[in-house]
């Protein structure tokens, strides 16, 4: 399994992805896209080596590699892979040969400004247009090959979560338990490095939060963030210690063959206070109702409204997705090569569920001074419903 994650992306996958993206470029009247983000390059070429991928609306893509071209040629099935030193010449040719090279798509959300300046200079006649949403939306529907990898990442999580009762101990710091669980994931073949796309977002393995450590707000736009080991990192497991009868909230990310899978479970030494127990049950009920409602054609906004209204109706509105007045505005998000993929399950989300989408659904509640509870699983939208890619009980696990 650990070896299987290192295999090349099949050429049929690459060809299909590029064809779908070219359809989208034509639909949006974009002449070509020039892509540089690591996840994007890997998705469309099979290599994450550094460079620029030029995808015209019609015709064959060209991968310009800064380094390392030998490696890129081994990993990618694209026919035309050239050194980035040839970029100015090819750019000039493209400019001359295409009278329609007016709108050139860039991923403005992740493209560094210095690279934007360079592209602007190379394509003086072009209208540089942000196509980041299109580049992200094309990745929403996963292929069976991609889903297989997300399933494998889910199996890493299953193995890791099964070890929590053995590893968790009173008085442990969040980051001490986190280190043990990160090792379990790595031993199960976890790739280590995880990508997030949103500007300023960074992640290590996720969150391991003890008691009031689950209430620390921060730069993550989610129900929990974690203090992190220090203010320089500012997210994730920190120095809060595990105490009896307080929730140990574990939100970790599996990662296999480039693809991630997201899962949260709550553990406790002893028993949770009654309001937190009830809140956890409400989160499970919210999850179950989302699952009952989810099928192709449903708008993600319907799922968000269903979740939030149920939380309010049962009296848990002030705790839903964060402390009162400071609540995250979503209850789920796509996962894939990045941890923060589309669709995002928000009140205004216009996306409709489609077969092949893979979405983490995470109804959670935060009780100031006490901690966070809730459940998260990663789900696949199927032809007629939804299938769970993560496993294990959703209940709070009481240890000792």
Residues 27-46 that bind its own copies (CB under 8 A): 36, 38-39, 42, 46
Which 8-state DSSP code applies to residue 363? Answer: -
**Binding its own copies by CB under 8 A: which of 144, 231, 297, 369?**
231
Q: How far is the CB of 386 from its own copies (least distance, A)?
A: 26
With binding defined as CB under 8 A, does residue 370 bind its own copies? no
Please, which residue, 185 or 306, has the CB nearer to its own copies? 185
User: Judged by CB under 8 A, which stretch of 230-238, 242-250, 292-300, 303-311 contacts its own copies?
Assistant: 230-238
Residue 292 CB contacts under 8 Å (≥ 6 apart), including other chains = none
Spatial distance between the Cα atoms of 182 and 173, rounded to a whole number of angstroms: 14
Q: Which residue stretch of 92-100, 176-184, 264-272, 301-309 sits at the interface with its own copies (rule: CB under 8 A)?
A: 176-184
234 near its own copies, rule: CB under 8 A: yes
Considering the complex, state which of residue 208 and residue 276 has its C-beta at the smaller distance from its own copies: 208
**Which residue lies nearer to its own copies by CB, 144 or 297?**
144
Helix, strand or coil, per DSSP, at residue 375: coil
CA distance readout (Å), 226 to 275, 283, 284, 336: 22, 20, 22, 23
| CA gap 323, 314 in Å, rounded | 16
- Binding test (CB under 8 A) with its own copies, winner from 13, 146, 182, 376: 182
> Using CB under 8 A, which of the segments 133-141, 215-223, 283-291, 310-318 binds its own copies?
215-223
**Which residues 297-336 are close enough to bind its own copies by CB under 8 A?**
none
CA distance 136 to 340: 10
Smallest distance from its own copies to CB 180, Å: 8
Sites for its own copies among residues 130-159 (CB under 8 A): 130, 132
Whose tokens are 């070890």? That residue is 163
How many CA atoms within 13 Å lie on the side-chain side of 41? Answer: 23
Pick the closest to residue 359 from 341, 333, 337, 339 (CA basis).
333
Exactly one of 148, 176, 245, 355 binds its own copies (CB under 8 A); which one?
176
Interface with its own copies, residue 178, by CB under 8 A? yes
Interaction of residue 232 with its own copies, rule CB under 8 A:
yes
Q: Give the sign of the dihedral formed by CA 187, CA 193, CA 198, CA 202.
A: positive
Task: Report the site for its own copies in 334-363 (rule: CB under 8 A).
Answer: 337
277 binds its own copies (CB under 8 A): no
Restricting to residues 106-135, which ones interact with its own copies according to CB under 8 A? 106, 108-117, 130, 132
| Site for its own copies contains 227 (CB under 8 A) | yes
Listed residue (88, 85, 134) closest to 109, CA to CA? 134
282 contacts 392 by C-beta, under 8 angstroms: no
Binding its own copies (rule: CB under 8 A), the pick from 14, 24, 32, 49 is 49
Residue with the two structure tokens 């602007």:
120
Q: Which of 58, 133, 193, 270 binds its own copies (CB under 8 A)?
A: 193
The single-letter DSSP state of residue 392 is S
Q: Is 257 in the site for its own copies (CB under 8 A)?
A: yes
Q: Is there binding between residue 169 and its own copies (CB under 8 A)? A: no
Choosing from 205, 249, 267, 316, the residue that interacts with its own copies (CB under 8 A) is: 205
Helix (H) or strand (E) holding 105: strand 103-106
Q: Write the interaction track for its own copies spanning residues 60-99; mark x where CB under 8 A is met and - where it is not.
A: ------xxx-xx---x------------------------
DSSP state of 32: E
Stretch that binds its own copies, among 10-18, 181-189, 279-287, 340-348 (CB under 8 A): 181-189
Of 392, 390, 391, 394, whose CA–CA distance to 261 is shortest? 390
Looking at beta carbons, which pairs linking 34-37 to residues 24 or more positions away fall under 8 Å? Answer: 34/104, 34/105, 34/106, 34/119, 34/123, 35/106, 35/107, 35/135, 36/107, 36/110, 36/111, 36/115, 37/107, 37/110, 37/111, 37/197
Instruction: Determine which residue in the list 97, 144, 199, 383 makes contact with its own copies, applying CB under 8 A.
Output: 199
Among 86, 165, 171, 192, binds its own copies (CB under 8 A): 192
Question: Which CB atom, from 149 or from 280, has the smaller least distance to its own copies?
Answer: 149
Joined together, the tokens standing for residue 237 give: 């497991």
């Amino acid at each position: 399994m650990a070896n299987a994650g290192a295999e090349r992306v099949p050429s049929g996958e690459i060809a299909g992805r590029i064809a779908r993206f070219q359809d989208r470029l034509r639909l949006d009247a974009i002449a070509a896209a020039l892509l540089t983000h690591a996840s994007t390059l890997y998705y469309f070429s099979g290599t994450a080596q550094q460079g620029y991928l030029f995808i015209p609306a019609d015709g064959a893509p060209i991968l310009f590699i800064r380094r390392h071209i030998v490696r890129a040629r081994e990993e990618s099935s694209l026919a035309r892979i050239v050194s980035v030193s040839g970029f100015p010449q090819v750019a000039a040719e493209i400019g001359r040969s295409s009278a329609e090279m007016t709108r050139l798509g860039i991923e403005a959300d992740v493209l560094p400004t210095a690279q934007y300046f360079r592209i602007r200079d190379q394509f003086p006649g072009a209208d540089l247009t942000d196509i980041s949403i299109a580049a992200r939306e094309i990745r929403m529907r996963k292929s069976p090959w991609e889903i297989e990898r997300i399933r494998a990442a889910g199996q890493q999580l299953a193995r890791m979560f099964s070890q929590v009762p053995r590893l968790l101990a009173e008085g442990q710091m969040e980051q001490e338990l986190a280190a043990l669980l990160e090792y379990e994931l790595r031993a199960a073949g976890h790739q280590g490095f995880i990508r997030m796309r949103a500007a300023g977002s960074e992640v290590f393995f996720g969150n391991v939060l003890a008691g009031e450590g689950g209430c620390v707000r921060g730069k993550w736009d989610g129900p929990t963030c974690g203090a992190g080991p220090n203010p320089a990192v500012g997210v994730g497991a920190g120095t809060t210690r595990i105490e009896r009868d307080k929730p140990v909230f574990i939100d970790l990310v599996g990662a296999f063959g480039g693809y991630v899978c997201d899962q949260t479970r709550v553990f406790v030494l002893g028993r949770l206070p009654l309001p937190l127990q009830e809140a956890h049950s409400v989160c499970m009920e919210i999850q179950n109702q989302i699952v009952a409602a989810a099928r192709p054609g449903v708008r993600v906004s319907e799922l968000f409204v269903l979740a939030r209204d149920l939380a309010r109706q049962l009296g848990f509105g002030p705790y839903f997705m964060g402390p009162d007045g400071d609540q995250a505005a979503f209850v789920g998000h796509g996962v894939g090569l990045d941890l923060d993929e589309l669709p995002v399950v928000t009140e205004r989300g216009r996306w409709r569920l489609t077969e092949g989408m893979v979405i983490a659904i995470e109804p959670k509640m935060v009780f100031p001074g006490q901690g966070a509870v809730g459940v998260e699983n990663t789900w696949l939208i199927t032809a007629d419903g939804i299938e769970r890619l993560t496993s294990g009980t959703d209940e709070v696990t009481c240890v000792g």
